[in-house]
Amino acid sequence: MAFWDYANPTRFLRLVQVVLPWLIGFCVLAFAAGLYMAFFTAPEDYQQGNTVRIMYIHVPAAWLCMMCYTVMSISSIGTLVWKHPLADVSAKSAAPIGAAFTFMALVTGSLWGKPMWGTYWVWDARLTSVLVLLIMYLGLMTLWRTMDDPIKAGKSAAILTLVGALNLPIIKFSVDWWNTLHQPASVVRMDGPTIHADILWPLLIMAVAFTLLFFVLHLMAMRNEILRRRVRALRMRAASVSRPGTAAATAQPAE
Amino acid sequence: MRSSHLKLIAENLTIDRGGRRVFQDLSFSLSQGSALVVTGANGIGKSSLLRTLAGLVSLAAGTIRLEGGETDRLPQEQAHYFGHQDAVKPALSVLENLRFWQNFAAASVCEGFTGATLSPLLVLDTLGIGHTAHLPAAYLSAGQKRRLSLSRLLVTPRPVWLMDEPTSALDKASEQQLLGIMNDHLASGGLIVTATHTELVLDRIETLHLQAADPAEQAPEEALL
Amino acid sequence: MTGWAMALFQRDLRLSVRIGGSALVGVLFFLAVVTVIPFGVGPDLNLLARIGPAILWIGALLATLLGLDRLFQADREDGTLDLMLMAGRPLELVILIKCLAHWIATGLPLVVAAPLLAIFLNLDPVSMGAVTLTLLVGTPALTLIGAIGASLTVSLRRGGLLLAVLVIPLAIPVLIFGVSSADAAIHDPVPFVTPFLILCALTLIAAVVGPVASAAALRFSAD
Amino acid sequence: MELGTHAGFIIASYALCILTVLVLVAWVRIDKANQERALKELAEQGISRARREHESR
């Protein structure tokens, strides 16, 4: 039952107030450690040289754009099955953050690719899938924006999110298939066959840092969304002329 | 008095629309052969109530059930909704429009309700638009479209009629005819819930007056989130 | 087919034939897209033959998306959709039938027109047949996936563009396997059957996911 | 430290990431300020949820 208690918006806001400073602290620490290791302790790749350092932001960003979609999918189930308003708030505020991380993954991927492939963009299976994911994020955000009623918009977006979640593996599979058909053999794969511990540790710490960053931003965005809905409800109350009715049935038997 | 098998029961209905509470804890029960006339000021939620009974607006709380109705069907699937929109396709002929609804909407017959399936042509004749049967519905006037929409209620028997401002766009004579049809429906054991501004002369009327609540009691926590 | 389903199917088919000749507009749009491509890539017949299946598929995708926004909107505007929700028929089936009628009215003409347009693109008879066959199997999936977008945007006045944006990512797998199997029939060493069967599977998946998701969306839209 | 021949790409990726994060943070903060201002304005008009909350808790 504890979960449901925190799912109450007011209590949730209080919880955010308590948790947020800690999260921010850990996040900063993780970034400090991760960045230090990424630049000073991690070795150069024998093949890619220093460009391998882009991996320490590219891979966590790519991991987060998947995790963010997972969070949105779970929230969407919450919206549709339990009809809880906080689930909807969570899904809505995760979308822009997810889009931003997806954008990061794409940009770093293409900046990493330029020295490797000699071009900023290749229609590599993974980059292509991430691009499709970005379009889906942006589409979802647009859907939310175009509907005035947040409850209705939330339900529509939840359905689309879940259809997208079903479709993402299919898209990934098709893009992989398509890629093997058309792929030139010379493309350098981004991940080496085995990852050395000196590379793995900074990567893991950066992944943790990014994950913490996501939760910090997500909680803050959720808080904003709750406030926004309060403002909306209060404005509506300010504008409403008619008050909600409590109806009394007065039966007047005719005949 | 007829033995009352059918009973439409609404308990503690609460509706939120667009983040605003329309009404809360509304309860009533309506027995067979009677009409419930919903009155109240504009915007108070009469249409919302009818759309809720029609299953088109989701309930924030409460239940609606049709006692004595078919158990494997939802209450709204045993009801006709006669709202502001006529659901008439101008590209189809009048008869095609009506035949579609007769075939598409599931009839609902239950004990004590003796509404019959009437033939489309007969119904159109009764409502005075029989001569238009083979014309595209685009040629109908607003009143004729309204009557075509009304005929939908007669070709598929369903015990509950939900009628939102049924007399709008109808002239005096048609209004009388409409009242006759509504009384026939009640006599055959049906139920009617109607929202209206004008006085309707029906056989057994109960009224439900929707009234604004004390502002202090309105809009609970959940609605504000 | 039971009576109600047949009634719905006939009604939808009649409506799309009688209103504006949506089939004709779709085919014209398809023709226009295919005509425009050579102006973009140049009249090199070899190049056109190579990318021909892709052009036809993209043309069909765009033409399908074009007509989808009215799939439920017309019914919502005149109150028909409300009554359909109350009709006591399974909404998923209702949507499936509406999609079928819509596909026959707008998708099938595209399939029929495809061999003709393939001539412009210098496709040989084998690839012509292959493209037409893949379109026949694949375009229903586009309609069914599009139904999700159509029901999500049903309450929006100008939902057409948004619908396309929402639907295109979901339609990518269909496009990939449609074009792949058409290509496979022509030159690639991959057997035709493999991607073609996957395309069939995608259509079947769409026939389940599409109606279920859009039924959920339509139920909420009545609110 | 030495970043080698591709220093520009590495710096550009990190810079763009930092920029994106900064934009996100700015968005969150500005949004919060906006909503809180709106709530305050409403409270000044005498429309707030504070009263009821005290009653219910």
* Contact list, B215 vs chain A (CB under 8 Å): 243
Amino acid occupying residue C63:
A
* Minimum mean pLDDT range among A244-253, B77-86, D4-13: A244-253
Residue D52 contacts B where some CB pair is shorter than 8 Å: yes
Closest CA–CA distance from residue B48 to any residue of chain C (Å): 9
Chain C positions touching A143 (Cβ under 8 A) are 152-153, 162, 166
CB contact under 8 A, B92 and C79: no
Q: How much is the pLDDT for C6?
A: 92
CA dihedral C146, C151, C157, C162 (to 10 degrees): -40
Strands B7-17 and A248-250: unpaired
- Find, in chain A, the residue whose alpha carbon is nearest to that of D12: A111
Q: Work out the pLDDT band at A183, boundaries 50, 70, 90.
A: low
> What pLDDT shows up at residue B215?
47
**Chain segment A86-103, per-residue pLDDT in tens:** 898 999 999 999 999 999
- Helix locations, chain D, DSSP H: 7-44, 50-56
D49–B224 C-beta distance less than 8 A: yes
pTM for this entry: 0.87
Give the pLDDT confidence score for residue B2 in this predicted structure: 45
Average pLDDT estimate for A17-30: 92
Backbone angles phi, psi at C148, to 5 degrees: -60, -50
pLDDT tens digits along A122-158: 887 888 889 999 999 999 999 998 888 888 888 999 9
CB interface of B with A, residues 4-23, below 8 Å: 16, 18-23
Alpha-helical runs (H) found in B35-119:
46-53, 94-104
At residue D26, the pLDDT reads 94
C15 to chain B: nearest residue by CA?
A: B91
Give the closest of C152, C170, C205 to A156, CB-based. C152
For B112, phi then psi, to 5°, come to 90, -15
Res D46: pLDDT: 74
Q: Do chains C and D touch (3 or more CB pairs under 8 A)?
A: no
Note whether A173 contacts C: Cβ–Cβ < 8 A. yes
Using pLDDT thresholds of 50, 70 and 90, give the confidence band for residue C99: very high
Alpha-helical regions (H) of chain A? 2-6, 9-36, 55-77, 85-117, 125-146, 150-182, 197-239
Predicted ipTM? 0.86
Report the neighbours of B using a cutoff of 3 or more CB pairs below 8 angstroms. A, C, D
CB contact C204 to A (< 8 Å): no
Q: How many H-runs (helices) and E-runs (strands) does chain C carry?
A: 10, 0
Average pLDDT over residues B104-125: 83
- C26-85 pLDDT tens trace: 899 999 999 998 898 888 888 888 888 899 999 999 999 888 888 898 898 888 999 999
List, edge to edge, every strand of the sheet that includes B61-67: B20-31, B7-17, B61-67
Higher pLDDT, C90 or B212: C90
For an interface test with C, give the residue of B101, B104, B193 to mutate (most C CBs within 10 A): B104
Tokens standing for residue A252: 């007047």
Domain residue spans in chain B? 7-224
Q: Which of A24, A27, A231, A232 should one mutate to test binding to chain D, selecting the residue with the greatest count of D CBs within 10 A? A: A231
Q: Could you read off the pLDDT of B12-55 as tens digits, one per residue?
A: 888 887 667 778 888 888 888 888 988 888 777 888 888 999 98
The pLDDT of residue B27: 87
| Chain A interface, Cβ < 8 Å to B | 9-10, 85, 148-152, 226, 229-230, 232-234, 236-237, 240-255
Domain positions in chain D: 11-56
CATH (residue range B7-224): 3.40.50.300
Mean of the pLDDT values across residues C166-189? 86
pLDDT for residue B179 is more than 50: yes
**Tens-place pLDDT, residues A210-247:** 999 999 999 999 999 999 988 888 887 777 644 444 44
Picking from B24, B26, B214, B225 by the largest number of A CB atoms within 10 A of its own CB, the best residue to mutate is B225
Band (C123; pLDDT cuts 50, 70, 90):
confident
Asked if the Cβ–Cβ distance from A255 to B204 is below 8 Å, we say yes
What is the C-alpha separation between B191 and B113, in angstroms, rounded?
Answer: 9
A162 reaches C (C-beta below 8 A): yes
Distance of CA B132 to the CA centre of its chain: 25
Contacts D52 to B, Cβ<8 Å: 221
Provide the percentage of residues in chain D whose pLDDT is more than 70.
75
Whether C5 has a pLDDT exceeding 70, the answer reads yes
More confident residue, D2 or B71: B71
